[in-house]
Chain A
Amino acid sequence: MSPQPQAAVGAPLSRVDGRLKVTGQARYAAEHDVDGTVHAVIIDASIGRGRITAIDTRQAEAQPGVLRVLHHRNAPKLPYRDNTASNNPPGERLRVFQDDKVLFHGQPVAVVIATTLEAAQHGARLVKVRYQTEQPDTDLTDATPDKPTTYARGDAEAALRKAPVRLDLSYRTARNHHNPMEPHATIARWEGGKLTVWDKTQWVVGTQTELAAVFGLPLDSVRVISPYVGGAFGTGLRCWPHTIVAALAARVTKRPVKLVLSRRQMYFGNGFRPAYAYRLRLGSDRRGRLTAALHEMDGETSSYETFTEAIMTPGQMLYSTPNVKQAYRTVPLDVNTPIWMRGPGFANASYVIESAIDELAHTIGIDPIELRRRNEPAEDESSGLPFSTRRLRECYTIGAREFGWHRRSHKPRSRREGDWLIGMGMAAGVYDTARATAQARVRLDADGTATVEAATSDMGPGTYTSQTQVAADALGLTMRTVTFRLGDSLYPPTPPHGGSMTMASVGSAVLDGCNRVRNNAIKLATEDRQSPLHGADPNDIVVRGGRLHVKNNPARGETYRALLTRNKSTHLEALGNFTGPEGTPRHSFFAYNATFAEVAVDATLGLVRVRRMLGVYDAGRIISPKLAQSQAIGGMVGGIGTALLEHSVTDPRDGRTVNANLADYLIPVNADVPDIQAIYLDGEDREADPLGVKGLGEVVHVGVAPAIANAVFNATGRRIRQLPITADALL
């Protein structure tokens, strides 16, 4: 960490952007005031697969205010260069308006540009599109899978045959949509050959590289700005077709164009968490020690790109298992390409594994926590590496104590309150501690204030606040004298704001940059004959409240302001750098949790209500405890949705999402959410990164759905091996 006193880091501070957000002043993508902006509305394909045979735009173009209607017959051909510096999965990305092919229901087929939103919306209704339709493939279990990705250690089949206890379980998880409250939106403006885009994105750098590749521009001709993101949960991790459409429309009309996806378009205009069919076979001895695990998972992808996620990882490292075999197949369907959603891969795998572990415990007749303890590995058995930190046992102990786990009856359906069957369940959660190369620019001005800039994003976790905390302590400044800026491709590059890697990656770059600036100031002072610190050992000097002083002699010192002013220096500046993991790894890095849930199930109606939840986390150092609490509660609320409510339903006739709205795609509302508690274990992970953090955003969501599913079993004696667990499944 740092020799500096830690005043801000670890303190339960309120958000630095709180005032802007509660007064409506934080500007999201569609809210930037760009002179002369006109409006665009996308017309999306109403068939599941086929070709466009005719487009009649006359009636739309006759509407007052309509400027242009663009489609594949009149849109300019675009270079669509390959973009390896992106999150585009392998395959051929969708090329908007470049040909007559329709690859999925909802694909953009035309765009109406008009002077007012009303005219654009009305115009979009008047465009007539004719198609030659084909029957789309929409069912994961009917379509032809790709070749599997496999993993094996030991001989899982032989071990399973010999195992005295065997389980063979098949699970289904639903397609989920991120549904951030802010719909995707883009404002695009061309000035000569230069393109500026205000966009909802978790990665301005990725959107910048994609726009440059699609339009054949030098990277520095594209600027992407995204200071506030109204939630994303993964949906902003790649540049979607509508952003290209907005830039194209702006180029053709020579006007700045604003394009906002409707909520309905959020179900095919960007990605989703793919549905899975997952078969898990477990073998164990009679004491519950696992001897074999065979995982077969099939997950949705599109016909044009192969989307994969880390669904194989938990099955390789969460529990000690000598014999493991896995096969992961993507299944191409006529749908838009999925994208990572909170806890990607891990959340689905953990639902299956943690449900199966619960079944195994019940089969053998031991407590599910005890079963997990018996299978706790001494090392990461997939790599043979020691865990940097793995405190799952503590999570179990503290969670069981705080939740009152001893009150759980081992016998299902044995606790009843009136019509309600009451049950308790738990699950373990895990998520990979990812880190990647990041930079941050730090500038300390002679007035004693500092500005830190990095291209990263804040979709809600509180990047603005937590990075300010890191910078304030490393510079020895108060929170209010440090300004952190993000969301602009002009700032130093950072990795995608996803996969829980922002604090570890960007935070480490901020720390490095601030350390450099502070050390430069200390050097300036100790070498300056007029400074009271002249000749002092630089290693003995700390900075507090903007004042440098000898650590054990606070009287001997001076302020940054005095130092810089006397030296006629307007500012000190440094570029902070974090290179991510280097060389051969010596440890295995993961964050963990134990999540507990109590549910009540109406015995007659099958209605499930979550009554209490608790999450206990081994996530390394917590930079911003107040915000970390919110993250955990939010992760659990999201898990209630996954477990009980969320399911995007496809009409097999035409690939249409039938519940593409917030009235029919159910997500938890306030009255669905009970008392929720979160506990973070004290400590840090010194091997993971300079800050000692392991990431929060994903791990708080992983393990929530199976904890609820296991509680439903404990309440009812019914195993529902399908998400979401809806009332009809329990009747």
Chain B
Amino acid sequence: MPTEPVPQGPTPATAAPEGPTAPTRRTFIATGTAVGTTVVAGGVLGTGLLPGSEAAAAASAPSSRLSLTVNGTRHTVTVDNRTSLLDLLREHLGLTGSKKGCDAGACGACTVLVDGRRQNACLTLAVRMEGAEVTTIEGLADGDQLHALQQAFIDQDAFQCGYCTPGQILSGVACIQEGHTRSPEEIAEWMSGNICRCGCYPKIVSAVQQAAGKK
């Protein structure tokens, strides 16, 4: 079962079937994804983050240019086709509020809203986000005014270490919008895609109830 982007084969210590000339599965996917988009060398990202020669080298990996809106701000970026939405946010846009817990869609720490729906940013290729409206934890408050669910998380002490918290909150915002708050059991069920290892679950349910106006 694939669990992460860098799987090491379990046993074949010497196996490496792809020769240098054969397309690897990864480059195949990358090339395939790039079809239909404009590939621009040396984009905003490369020049912004890397010294000259390295930027050129990095840019020679298959890349795509796309525009998306994050927390109300429009970004036009050139990304390596292999980049996930999560890595675009964390490593390129400086929005580290979205967390990488498993990079495999199993923990929910990377949950963001894409066009209003909750989505695992680690399982989403950035190049698929053309035209998308993305909301991360950094975009939830209105200036100094916290979103009701952010305040509820503080009031209910619905977190300890805080690492799953952004994903829990965005999942909770969607849970409320979806109307899955009719009972604590229903909230628990619909919040079960977000793992909290500190074990704050009952308080997360209370926080969602509070923000939904039911507590």
Contact = CB atoms under 8 A, between A and B. Distances in A.
A631 B157 CA distance: 10
Contacts of B16: 56, 59, 126, 128
A130 B154 contact: no
11 contacts: A22-B153, A22-B154, A23-B97, A30-B90, A31-B96, A133-B13, A179-B197, A263-B102, A263-B107, A662-B107, A671-B185
Nearest to A653: B11
Given A116-B80, A116-B91, A262-B4, 20 more contacts: A14-B154, A22-B154, A23-B138, A25-B138, A41-B6, A44-B8, A64-B58, A65-B61, A228-B161, A231-B198, A262-B5, A264-B3, A629-B157, A638-B199, A651-B10, A661-B106, A662-B107, A670-B189, A670-B191, A670-B194
Interface string A53-65: 0001001001111
Given A46-B11, A64-B58, A181-B109, A263 B150 contact: no
A233 interface: yes
The 5 closest A-B pairs by CB, nearest first: A24-B97, A637-B199, A230-B163, A21-B162, A460-B160
A402 interface: no
A231 B107 contact: no
B162 A65 contact: no
Interface in A258-280: 260, 262-264
A183 B100 contact: yes
Interface string A651-690: 1011010001111100111111101100000000000000
B202 A673 contact: yes
Contacts of A125: 6-7, 24, 26
* Residue among A24, A44, A461 having the largest count of chain B Cβ atoms under 10 Å: A24
Contact of B102 (A118, A626, A661, A670): A661
Interface string B77-110: 0001011000100110011111111111011010
Contact of B58 (A65, A126, A231, A633): A65
A43 interface: yes
B174 interface: no
B134 to A, nearest CB: 13
A182 B199 contact: no
Contacts of A627: 157, 160
Contacts of B82: 118, 121-122
A523 interface: no
Contacts of A633: 199-203
Interface string A181-195: 111000000000000
Nearest to A24: B97
Contacts of A23: 97, 137-138, 140-141, 146, 150
B188 A25 contact: no
A126 B20 CA distance: 10
A676 B189 CA distance: 17
Interface in A9-28: 14-15, 17-28
B106 A229 contact: no
A21 B7 CA distance: 32
Interface stretch (B32-40, B113-121, B164-172): B164-172
Contacts of B109: 181
A171 interface: no
Contacts of A667: 195, 197
A62 B20 CA distance: 10
A705 interface: no
A630 interface: yes
Nearest to A105: B10
A607 B23 CA distance: 47
Nearest to A628: B157
B62 to A, nearest CB: 10
A462 interface: yes
B8 A46 contact: yes
A131 B12 CA distance: 10
Nearest to B91: A117
B197 A180 contact: yes
Contacts, number: 258
B199 A663 contact: no
Given A119-B61, A661-B104, A24 B6 contact: no
Contacts of B203: 630, 633
A509 B87 CA distance: 41
Interface string B127-166: 0000000001110110000100011011101011111111
Contact of B154 (A15, A260, A634): A15
Contacts of A131: 13-14
A248 interface: no
Contact of A117 (B87, B154, B159, B164): B87
Contacts of A260: 100
B10 A654 contact: yes
B159 to A, nearest CB: 6
B66 interface: no
Nearest to A122: B26
Nearest to A42: B6
B205 interface: yes
A636 interface: yes
A24 B138 contact: yes
Nearest to A638: B199
Interface of A: 14-15, 17-28, 30-31, 33, 36, 41, 43-44, 46-47, 56, 59, 62-65, 115-119, 121-122, 124-126, 128-131, 133, 178-183, 228-233, 260, 262-264, 459-462, 626-627, 629-631, 633-638, 651, 653-654, 656, 660-664, 667-673, 675-676
B83 A118 contact: yes
Given A128-B14, A181-B99, A654-B11, A662 B104 contact: yes
Contacts of A183: 100-101
Contacts of B24: 125
Given A179-B197, A263-B103, A668-B199, A15 B157 contact: yes
B9 interface: yes
Contacts of B159: 18, 21-22
Nearest to B4: A262
B97 A630 contact: no
A182 B95 CA distance: 16
A361 to B, nearest CB: 29
B161 A182 contact: yes
A637 B104 contact: no
Contacts of A638: 197, 199
A631 B198 CA distance: 8
Nearest to B10: A656
Contact of A14 (B95, B155, B160): B155
B197 A630 contact: no
B90 A31 contact: yes
B188 to A, nearest CB: 4
B157 A663 contact: no
Nearest to A669: B192
Nearest to B79: A118
B150 to A, nearest CB: 4
Nearest to B90: A31
Contacts of B96: 24, 27-28, 30-31
B70 interface: no
Contacts of A24: 95-98, 136-138, 166
B60 interface: yes
B116 to A, nearest CB: 19
B58 A263 contact: no
A115 B50 contact: yes
* Residue among B8, B193, B194 having the largest count of chain A Cβ atoms under 10 Å: B8
Contacts of B202: 633, 673, 675-676
B73 to A, nearest CB: 15
B54 A65 contact: yes
Contacts of B57: 64-65, 115
B138 to A, nearest CB: 5
Contacts of B58: 64-65, 115-116, 119
Contact of B80 (A118, A181, A231, A669): A118
Contacts of B11: 46-47, 653-654, 656
A181 B195 contact: yes
A272 B97 CA distance: 28
B13 A118 contact: no
